[in-house]
């Protein structure tokens, strides 16, 4: 069958997962029902029931009590709320070198000294550097993602939490990329605050949540009507929240099946390496659905365009930067700066079929072979 007649292969779940059919139906029904969840009449009470049912489902996904989870407009706002929750208790902020800009740039705006925590060559936080930083500069807020959004590398959050808590610090975890791919429990991790997002799970865009540990009291970023336990004013986006809850419930049920994505990822990685690619984060614990490759000399955007023309959709690193021609700062932080301009991120999800990985590999290997034939000197 000609490529033009094939349906596109979508392998960019790390950017945004396609909305699940069950979620679309739930959002549609909530839109039709209408109502303000703060109203006391019957329609308002029904809207409140939808919000609270979603809160129960999302809380269960991350092991949080329902009274310790508030809805936000997405992961970026959840991260901002999480970071700001600790300002009264800290003297410095320690930010992982590979954090998402939603965390690293927000930390710089909070008015406290910010120090960057280096990572190893595999992308895992340097625990000795963390220990040294915690020992100096006063009480610290450590901001460290559970899993990196470009490489899929998983940080040892429980170990980090023990170090932070021993010295009276606070820990904020951006779990946006990890939730729904691996089991996440805020108390088991030892995090004080934890941010998640709906659209990474197959829910609608425009919804997220902040979970927080017992004893933590987030501070509102603005005033208003006192919604979300007085912590996040503004009428709740009931349809999006309803869809978020359905997506969270389905993601929770899918966790065991998600582990199977690792086999396809690893088989693809092995074949891609034979074609001249380098696997970023190899050797470290990683999300089962995410593969980060670099093909030296073959620029990221050229890879993305070549694959897209052949009906395969992937990203050049983080989605927020994939439309920009600039090297991956995550890969630079890993000490692999020479590979940073050549990074490609492939990520599967709830609707991915085994043949999708095979189709990616077919197009990728053909493109890599053409690239090598034109510019062998660049690769060496």
Rounded CA separation 294/343 (Å): 4
Which one, of 230, 228, 249, lies nearest residue 48 by Cα? 228
Residue 320 known to be catalytic: yes
Query: What is the torsion angle, in degrees rounded to the nearest 10, for the CA atoms of residue 310, residue 311, residue 317 and residue 318?
Result: 160
Token reading at 252: 């929770």
CA pair distance 78, 75, nearest whole angstrom: 5
Q: Please tell me which residue in 33, 53, 319, 320 is annotated as part of the active site.
A: 320
Instruction: Give the whole-angstrom CA distance, residue 171 versus residue 178.
Output: 16
Is the distance from CB of 175 to CB of 62 less than 8 angstroms?
Answer: yes
Which residue, 320, 291, 285, 283, is CA-closest to 104? 320
Residue with tokens 């909070």: 110
C-alpha–C-alpha distance, residues 235 and 38, integer Å: 8
Question: Please, are residues 292 and 151 in contact by the beta-carbon 8 Å criterion?
Answer: yes
Q: How far apart are CA 304 and CA 68, in angstroms?
A: 41
| Separation of alpha carbons 229 and 67, rounded Å | 8
Active site residues: 320
């Amino acid at each position: 069958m000609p490529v033009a007649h094939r349906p596109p292969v979508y392998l960019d779940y790390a950017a945004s997962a396609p909305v699940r059919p069950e979620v679309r139906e739930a959002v549609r029904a909530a839109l039709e029902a209408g109502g303000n969840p703060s109203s006391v009449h019957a329609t308002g009470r029904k809207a409140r029931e939808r919000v609270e049912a979603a809160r129960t489902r999302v809380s269960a996904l991350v092991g949080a009590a329902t009274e310790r989870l508030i809805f936000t407009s997405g992961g970026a706002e959840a991260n901002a709320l999480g970071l700001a929750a600790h300002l009264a208790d800290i003297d410095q902020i320690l930010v992982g070198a590979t954090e998402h800009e939603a965390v690293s740039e927000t930390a710089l705006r909070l008015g406290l000294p910010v120090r960057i925590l280096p990572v190893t060559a595999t992308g895992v936080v340097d625990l000795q550097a963390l220990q040294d930083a915690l020992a100096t500069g006063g009480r610290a807020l450590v901001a460290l993602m559970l899993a990196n959004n470009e490489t899929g590398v998983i940080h040892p959050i429980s170990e980090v939490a023990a170090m932070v808590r021993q010295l009276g610090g606070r820990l904020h975890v951006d779990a946006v990329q990890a939730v729904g791919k691996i089991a996440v429990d805020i108390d088991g991790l030892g995090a004080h605050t934890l941010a998640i997002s709906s659209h990474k799970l197959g829910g609608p865009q425009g919804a997220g949540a902040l979970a927080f540990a017992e004893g933590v009291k987030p501070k509102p970023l603005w005033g208003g009507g006192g919604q979300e336990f007085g912590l996040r004013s503004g009428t709740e986006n009931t349809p999006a929240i309803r869809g978020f809850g359905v997506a969270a419930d389905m993601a929770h049920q899918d966790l065991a099946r998600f582990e199977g994505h690792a086999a396809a990822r690893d088989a693809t990685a092995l074949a891609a390496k034979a074609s001249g690619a380098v696997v970023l984060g190899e050797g470290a614990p990683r999300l089962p659905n995410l593969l980060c490759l670099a093909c030296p000399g073959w620029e990221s955007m050229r890879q993305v365009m070549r694959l897209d023309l052949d009906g395969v959709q992937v990203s050049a690193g983080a989605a927020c930067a994939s439309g920009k021609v600039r090297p991956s700062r995550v890969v630079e932080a890993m000490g692999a700066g020479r590979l940073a301009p050549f990074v490609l991120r492939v990520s599967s999800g709830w609707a991915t079929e085994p043949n999708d990985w095979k189709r990616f590999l077919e197009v990728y290997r053909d493109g890599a072979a053409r690239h090598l034939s034109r510019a062998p000197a660049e690769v060496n």
